[in-house]
């Protein structure tokens, strides 16, 4: 979702009046409405829905990423946007838009894959031919099917958030909730991420003024996987946390989006559980 300022306004006092024939005013109702007290922001609602996570693992120097990979990504966005958090994930250290979160996602989701690769819910869904090529139509089918299948599954845990930018700092107030008991073998984490759409810059195959889609800009925590959900993982358990991150001077705040991802951890591996992004 693009950044929105939240403004809480009291109801103005109202006086109804009319005029006599001589032009003087006569009060016909001097009852004033009670001014609403400022009760703060609305509570965060956690919807019982599954939302997928799609990562296009890409690089600005990569020719295929800007040719058939560019077209394929747009087609995937068109078919899944309402049901998935989508990230253009520039995980190569020599690419523009590189950042540690993008590098971590590349390493976790497709460590041996070339560029581009298309991942959904933490797994590489790219369809490779026997000679190392990529079947684009099958890759799209794989990603779209994963998103649709995940949407229909039982919701274990979900998240919601409220976003503001105050004095040049993003503040994301996040609530996570368990709708079913979590797996006792795992610790659960919640991560928050900043994404920017329509980032104009160089892309091999597209030129110097390409509009990059849903660029993963940063995790909002030092650990890219977020913070541990430390108050239980049983049905009805809730966890609230506030994430903060300074706005980078190169980011266009009008095009910022925010994403929350719930992970479960076993050993050193983080497994996707659910994601959320405000699509309004």
State the total domains in the chain. 1
Q: Which tens digit of pLDDT belongs to each residue from 146-155?
A: 999 999 999 9
Query: Is 33 a member of any domain?
Result: no
Range 73-81, long-range pairs (CB < 8 A, 24+ positions): 73/116, 73/118, 73/213, 74/213, 75/140, 76/118, 76/140, 76/143, 76/144, 77/213, 77/214, 79/140, 79/144, 80/52, 80/54, 80/143, 80/144, 80/147, 81/279
Contact 150, 52 (CB under 8 A): yes
pLDDT of 18 above 80: no
CATH of the domain at 240: 2.60.40.10
Query: Is 29 a member of any domain?
Result: no
Query: Is 45 a member of any domain?
Result: no
pLDDT classification of 11: cutoffs 50, 70, 90: very low
Contact 202, 210 (CB under 8 A): yes
Query: Is 16 a member of any domain?
Result: no
d(CA 126, CA 145): 12
* Class of residue 204 by CB neighbours under 10 A (exposed 0-12, middle 13-18, buried 19+): middle
Query: Is 81 a member of any domain?
Result: yes
Q: Which tens digit of pLDDT belongs to each residue from 57-103?
A: 999 999 999 999 999 999 999 999 999 999 999 999 999 999 999 99
Q: In terms of residue numbers, what domain contains 88?
A: 52-276
Query: Is 137 a member of any domain?
Result: yes
pTM across the whole model: 0.85
pLDDT classification of 280: cutoffs 50, 70, 90: confident
Most confident listed range (6-10, 13-17, 203-207): 203-207
Mean pLDDT of 15-27: 36
Query: Is 179 a member of any domain?
Result: yes
Query: Is 257 a member of any domain?
Result: yes
pLDDT at position 42, please? 87
Chain-wide mean pLDDT for the chain?
89
């Amino acid at each position: 979702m693009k950044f929105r300022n939240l403004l809480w306004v009291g109801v103005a006092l109202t006086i109804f009046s009319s005029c006599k024939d001589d032009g003087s005013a006569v009060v016909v109702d001097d009852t004033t409405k009670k001014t609403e007290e400022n009760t703060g922001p609305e509570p965060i609602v956690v919807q019982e829905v599954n939302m997928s996570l799609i990562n296009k693992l890409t690089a600005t120097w990569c020719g295929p990423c800007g040719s058939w990979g560019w077209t394929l990504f747009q087609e995937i966005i068109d078919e899944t946007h309402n049901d998935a958090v989508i990230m253009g994930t520039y995980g190569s250290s020599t690419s523009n838009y590189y950042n540690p979160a993008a590098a971590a996602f590349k390493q976790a989701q497709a460590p041996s894959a070339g560029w581009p690769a298309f991942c959904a819910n933490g797994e590489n869904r790219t369809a490779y031919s026997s000679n190392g090529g990529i079947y684009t139509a099958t890759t799209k089918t794989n990603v779209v099917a994963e998103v649709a299948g995940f949407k229909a599954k039982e919701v274990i845990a979900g998240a919601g958030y409220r976003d503001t930018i105050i004095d040049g700092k993003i503040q994301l107030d996040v609530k996570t909730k368990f709708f079913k008991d979590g797996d006792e073998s795992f610790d659960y984490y919640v991560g928050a991420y900043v994404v920017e759409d329509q980032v104009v810059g160089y892309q091999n195959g597209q030129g110097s003024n390409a509009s990059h889609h849903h660029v993963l800009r940063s995790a909002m925590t030092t650990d890219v996987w977020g913070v541990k959900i430390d108050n239980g993982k049983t049905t009805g358990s809730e966890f609230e946390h506030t994430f903060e991150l300074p706005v980078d001077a190169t980011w266009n705040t009008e095009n910022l989006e925010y994403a929350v991802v719930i992970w479960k951890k076993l050993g050193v591996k983080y497994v996707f559980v659910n994601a959320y992004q405000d699509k309004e």
